Structure 1
Amino acid sequence: MTDLLDLSIKELLGLYRAKTLSPLDYWQVVEKRIEAFEPAIKALYAYDPKSAREQARASTERWLRDDPRGVLDGIPATLKELIATKGVPVPLGTAAVELTPAATDAPIAARMKEDGAVIFAKTTCPDYGMLSSGLSSFHPLSRNPWDLTQNPGGSSAGAAAAGAAKYGPLHIGTDIGGSVRLPAGWTGLFGFKPSQGRIPVDPYYVGRCAGPMTRYVDDAAIAMATLSRPDWRDGTSLPPNDFDWMDLEIDLRGMKIGVMLDAGCGIAAEPEIRDAVLAAARRFEEAGAVILPVEPVLTRAMLDGLDKFWRARFWGDIATLPAERREKILPYIYSWAEKGADISGVDAVKGFNQTIEMRKACGLLFTTVDAVLSPTNPVVSYAADWASPTNDPERPFEHICFTVPWNMSEQPAASINCGFSKSGMPIGLQIVGPRFDDMRVLKLSKAFETWTGGVKAWPEPARLAS
């Protein structure tokens, strides 16, 4: 069973094509894995194994006829709870929301269904996706499979936990300040946030992206062929692309790669993380890249401005809720949001304008380098029941300083494992590329994965490990 769970999407498709493994047989292996691990990590929402069996059976019949729907036919996958699927309520991670079945599939769900993916569950997130944590007022506490006392990060918390626990090969998260990359870093996954608009999202707002979270770079690349098809519902949706998403070879000779070890504000990267990132940079240098230290793009004024804007915006979203529903919001988030009531419209706009300053700073940096390496996360790990690495609603964004600028600049960025701490927790390396050059980030990530061999042993549930 473990051997099958280690297979990549490319390997699974090869076995389906050869008719030596069926999607139904593979799903049954994944289902047993979930039964063994889910009671401990609680990654899933709206888990429907009966529907998954039906989808896998239909996929099996298509493969027997040599008539698969698309590149994901028969591949088990999850979607973050915030990504609507028709007929399933979208609680937004909070007990404050009334549970109304979604009327339509969001763009991502529609594309994956068109290509035959076996969507077997949604994955958990914190209230309104506003935390880097598995803590929620609606969902059970999600935990990190590497150490159940530790946090998987967020807001794509359940996606990260499910990926690291090997609940199939593909999990889709969303990211507005690091919510794909941060949990990927803390769980050892590859998390890819593409250029703004490359994967259409609905609803869209400033900086909000979606991306695949996988154990292998190839799996994310394969998924991008499906996920990147345009959708009119996202006004930033990019035109159709003709990328060969699996063309991942790259010549690094002469490429200028910046190394950013200081985010400019927020929590400083811990020594183990700095050491791991510097070791990763040396790998790129050995392959012929020119490694250059670069200054941070973020300032305290930018981060505080973003904080004010997001507080004001979020308070506007929840101010009209009845008091009894607002009181159900996670206290940490409510405490942070209610300060937005005192922020004037002028100050909120000034805060928003700091996102433009981030964009300018990122653009200026990329006039001097071809890519940037940095830590993904500044800390190795933190407690499972904490809302964030500071656990302080007055300092909610101190841990996103390496990741959030690239959302505002609309540039592609990924997190890939670059080692482990002395405590045994994964460490993430962030790789950032120029706007719209998603392939460069994937190619650099694939090169690094090839050099290191990737993560060789993933967590096992106690029942399977004994």
Structure 2
Amino acid sequence: MSPTLADLDSGTLAESYANGILTPTEVCEDVITRIELRDPELNALYLFNAAQVRFDAAAATKRWVEGTPLSTFDGVPVTVKENIARAGQPMPDGTAIPHPPIAQHNAPITDRLIEAGAIIVGTTTMPDWGMLSSGVSSLHGITRNALNPALTSGGSSAGAGTAAAAGYGPFHVGSDIGGSIRLPGSWQNLIALKPSEGLIPLDVPYDGRVAGPLTRTAADSIRLMSIIARPDKRDYLARPYEKMTWSTAPLIPNGMRIALQLDAGSGLPVEAETLAAVQRAATLFADAGALVEPLNPFIDLEVLSGLVDFWRSLFYADYEILSKTERACVLPFIADWCCAGADFSAAQTVRNRNRIDEMARLTRAATSGYDLILSPVTPVTAFAAEDPMPINDPLETMGHISFTVPYNMSGQPALSVGAGVQADGRTIGLQIASSIGTDPMLLRVAAWFESIRDR
């Protein structure tokens, strides 16, 4: 498909709006065309109202003509994940349970986007309760990979990843509690950031949960962070961060101390082509003047499985109170997965919950003293779109999140950036992590890696 206005990055759009070369109406019309062309197959959007997009784009165009834009990015298209509240819109969390709750208020992210004049072109899909690493949903059906629709989109930010890769505008926001932003990023060749805990405020915060950008370039993620990474009192778990400068200038890692982790210590073995791509990436960092050192595994299977078992109990608590009719609406894989948490004792549930704190402690201790940590995003590349997980046994632990989930629990930022393509065309993501509060630096390094990875 030839590039069109829908494929332009946010910096080009902002400059073109300011110079009068393009209008939000022209750009959003092209995005609508792209959605109408591709979404019948890809199924990335849950809510899409072309008339509303046109109305909002016309208002943004008028503001630019009158010289009163709301921000530099007034009129730039954006999508938000289904579990990010938009006032008056349903929030089914990917399940076909009837009569989903209607959001009474916007989430902080939604408010920041609207305040900046960004055009919300749609709400993106997710699997049931966000607990699958795919786009399989009892409500939506199957969300597919924009690069190869036979493959999974990744999840749970399934529609966000596909919308980004398909060119439904430059900005897309997902959420992540164990890899749900970075997995679609890895499998659809995106920049996908799980930010520092609480940096992007949430109205429903809990341990490990964050929201963050999925974009086609690091610069677009940086620009999107400048909009949504702002304090909001509704997030009662957020820490007070110093004001951050969101520069898009690439940062060469010369002189940085970098850890290279090739074995997570638990979960699935790393595929050979993924291993080679990550090792090659590490060589590029070393060639740029970084000191690259091996990092031993620090999370074992007992800790990983205990955390997953806590999640089973957490979601069984929601499943248990459903009526028989409502239970029948939940994806069978998810029903079987969470019902495995029904028989844990109270004491075992507490022990499983404590794995969150243990994982945080182990991750921070192992990565202390390093500027960056390099690893695969996930041991495996994209699997069939119809499969709910790379391991299709709901009683098995989530062996594909062994590299990603530690940084959710430790609160450290971690992102996926494309590091290569397998012989069969499936994309490979490099995970780069850093210390809490260093998100601008992390994204600038990703921008540098983008610029040199194909040399």
Q: Aligning the two structures, in what range does the TM-score lie when normalised by the shorter sequence?
A: over 0.9
Match of 1:308 in 2: 309
| Equivalent residue, structure 2, for 1:101 | 102
CA RMSD in angstroms, aligned pairs only: 1.4
How far off is 1:401 after superposition?
0.5
Q: Residues 210 and 353 of structure 1: is their aligned pair in 2 closer, same or farther, counting only changes over 3 Å?
A: same
Matches within 5 A, 1:256-271: 256-271=257-272
Q: Give matches, 1:144-163, under 5 Å.
A: 144-163=145-164
Counterpart of 2:130 in structure 1 is: 129
Q: What is the Cα deviation at residue 237 of structure 1?
A: 2.3
Moved more, 299-308 or 405-414: 299-308
Give the % identical residues.
Answer: 41
1:276-302 deviation digits (Å, cap 9, x = unpaired): 111111111110001111112211111
Report the equivalent of 1:49: 50
Give 2:231's aligned amino acid: P
Question: What one-letter code is carried by the residue in structure 2 that aligns with 1:232?
Answer: K
Q: TM-score, normalised by structure 1?
A: 0.95
> Deviations along 1:155-213, whole A, 9 cap, x unmatched?
00011111111111111000000000011100011101110000011211110000000
CA deviation digits over 1:61-106, x for unaligned, max 9? Answer: 1111221112331011110001110111001000125223211111
Secondary structure of the corresponding residue to residue 120 of structure 2 = strand
The answer on 1:118 being equivalent to 2:119 is: yes
2:285 aligns to what? Answer: 284
Task: Give SS of 1:36's match.
Answer: helix
Contact 1:84 1:105 in 2 (8 A): yes
Q: CA deviation at 1:396?
A: 4.3
Q: Give 5+ residue unaligned stretches, structure 1.
A: 455-466
How many angstroms apart in 2 are the aligned matches of 1:273 and 1:304? 24
Counterpart amino acid of residue 376 in structure 1: V
Q: Work out the CA distance in 2 between the residues paired with 1:388 and 1:97.
A: 25
Deviation readout 1:218-276 (Å, 9 max, x if unpaired): 11101111111111121122436422201544342221111111111111110000001
How far apart are the structure 2 equivalents of 1:246 and 1:63?
24
2:171 and 2:454 mapped to 1: Cα distance? 19
Matched, 1:320 2:321: yes
Residue 175 of structure 2 corresponds to 174
TM-superposed deviation, 1:3: 3.9
Distance 1:100 1:196 in 2: 26
The answer for the alignment partner of 1:399 in structure 2 is 400
Q: State the distance in 2 between where 1:32 and 1:92 align.
A: 27
Give the secondary structure class of the aligned counterpart of 2:15: helix
> Structure 1 residues 202 and 216, CA, compared in 2 at 3 Å: closer, same or farther?
same
Secondary structure, aligned partner of 2:373: strand
| 1:464 aligned residue | none
Equivalent-residue separation in structure 1 for 2:422 and 2:129 (angstroms): 31
Matches for 1:287-436 after TM superposition, within 5 Å = 287-436=288-437
Q: How does 1:1-40 map to 2 (within 5 A)?
A: 2-40=3-41
Q: How far did 1:453 drift?
A: 6.2
Aligned-partner Cα distance in 2 for 1:229–1:82: 19
Q: Secondary structure at the match of 1:221?
A: helix
Q: TM-score, normalised by structure 2?
A: 0.97
Pairing 1:76–2:98 present: no
- 1:186 equivalent in alignment to 2:197: no
Q: How many residue pairs align between the two structures?
A: 454
Matches within 5 A, 1:243-258: 243-246=244-247, 248-258=249-259
Return the alpha-carbon distance in structure 2 between the equivalents of residues 239 and 369 of structure 1: 23
Contact 1:72 1:223 in 2 (8 A): no
Match of 1:227 in 2: 228
* Shift of residue 331, structure 1, vs aligned partner: 0.4
Counterparts of 1:58 and 1:239 in 2: how far apart (Å)? 35
